[in-house]
Amino acid sequence: MKIGNFDLLKDGTYIIAELSANHGGKIEIAKETITAAKECGANAIKLQTYTADTITLNCDKEDFIIKGGTLWDDKKLYDLYNEAYLPWEWHEELFSYAREIGINIFSSPFDKTAVDFLDKFNPSAYKIASFEITDYELIRYTASKMKPIIISTGIATIDEIQDAVDICKKVGNHNIILLKCTSSYPAPLEDANLKTIPNLAQTFGVISGFSDHTLGSTAPIVAVTLGAKVIEKHFILDKSIGGADAEFSMDKQEFSDMVKAIRDTEKLIGKVDYSMTEKKQKSRQFSRSLYVAKDIKKGELFTEENIRSVRPGYGKHPKYLDEVLGKKAKKEYSFGNRLN
């Protein structure tokens, strides 16, 4: 499967920098963030496309007041989203700018109007956010655009994940990526349960990855070792910008360090390889082999005293020691000779 020109099965880990609310209400900050994401090594920048009115109601009732130990407790949902949303009139310029500097760009739509709006920019993928996985009509409509669809599974039951996959396949879209996600901000390490990443791929027959809300880069690095093909992380140009997501977002240095660590991890994982490479063959000089440990006269028996397995490795393989011991020498051997 490809997102843009990036092949998820051949080109390594696809790293997404999540712009989210980290724009400070200024398009120039958004553009500088896109530039920084490119410089840090991200493969894509991801937006969120909603307004307060498309995501909730402007209602003061208790149900619409945030609670539960979040960063935004006691704030009205409408006010939070009104503060955090990225203006729709910026999208065309941001899409053009990202493509101009050579970084992929797409977005999370939060309702059907956002899907139709984003469709005009021909995004290379769509992302369904964690809290939208229960909006089956949104998933169906988004999947019907036949672009790769990335779905965070943060708050879903296993049955709801299966429903989401089935909905995509029913409209003919099999380019599905499921992301393990803990929908806490920031997320405790003990709630990450990264073993779920390979299980998502195996259980649902899809590509799996990780949308990370933990602090630091340990979790995404471990996720890659467990088979994550996509890593998504909130990214901010500078934490002094502030905003709804600043506290659990990575700045330029942190994100750059994470990307490097992921690329190093990919090298370390490598592939299953038992072949005898040139480097391995050369290193065998430091292995053991059979050498003459004492001068041996013709007709004398080979013993553990005069034949030993020692370094270097130019002589006969040590596995032949038992076959050699007890036999008579057919010629003279000098101390330090290889036994061939």
Q: Is the CB of residue 54 less than 8 Å from the CB of residue 82? A: no
Question: 3 in the Ramachandran plot: left (φ > 0), alpha (ψ -120 to 50) or beta?
Answer: beta
Q: Beta 289-292 vs 307-310: how paired, if at all?
A: antiparallel
Q: Beta 207-212 vs 6-7: how paired, if at all?
A: unpaired
- Give the predicted TM-score (pTM) of the model: 0.90
- 264 three-class SS: helix
Q: Is the dihedral of CA 225, 229, 233, 236 positive or negative?
A: positive
Complete domains list, the chain, with CATH: 2-50+85-269 (3.20.20.70), 279-324 (no CATH)
* 297-298-304-305 Cα dihedral, nearest 10 degrees: 0
| CA 237 to chain CA centroid, nearest Å | 21
Q: Which two three-digit tokens encode residue 304? A: 């553990």
Asked whether the predicted pLDDT for residue 72 surpasses 90, the reply is: no
Asked whether the predicted pLDDT for residue 138 surpasses 80, the reply is: yes
Please give the span between the terminal C-alpha atoms of the chain, in angstroms, as a whole number. Answer: 53
In angstroms, rounded to a whole number, what is the distance separating the alpha carbons of residues 19 and 99?
16
Q: What is the pLDDT of residue 252?
A: 96
Q: Is the CB of residue 40 less than 8 Å from the CB of residue 255? A: yes
List, in sequence order, every residue forming a beta bridge with 328; answer none if it has no partner. 301
pLDDT digits (tens, 9 = 90+) for 252-302: 999 999 999 999 999 999 999 999 989 999 999 999 999 999 999 999 999
Q: What is the pLDDT of residue 221?
A: 98
pLDDT digits (tens, 9 = 90+) for 162-177: 999 999 999 999 999 9
Any idea which of 6-20, 100-114, 204-218, 231-245 has the lowest mean pLDDT? 231-245
List, in sequence order, every residue forming a beta bridge with 230; answer none if it has no partner. 14
- 320 three-class SS: helix
Q: What angle do CA 56, 156, 21 make, to 5 degrees?
A: 45
Q: Which two three-digit tokens encode residue 312? A: 């270097």
Asked whether the predicted pLDDT for residue 156 surpasses 90, the reply is: yes
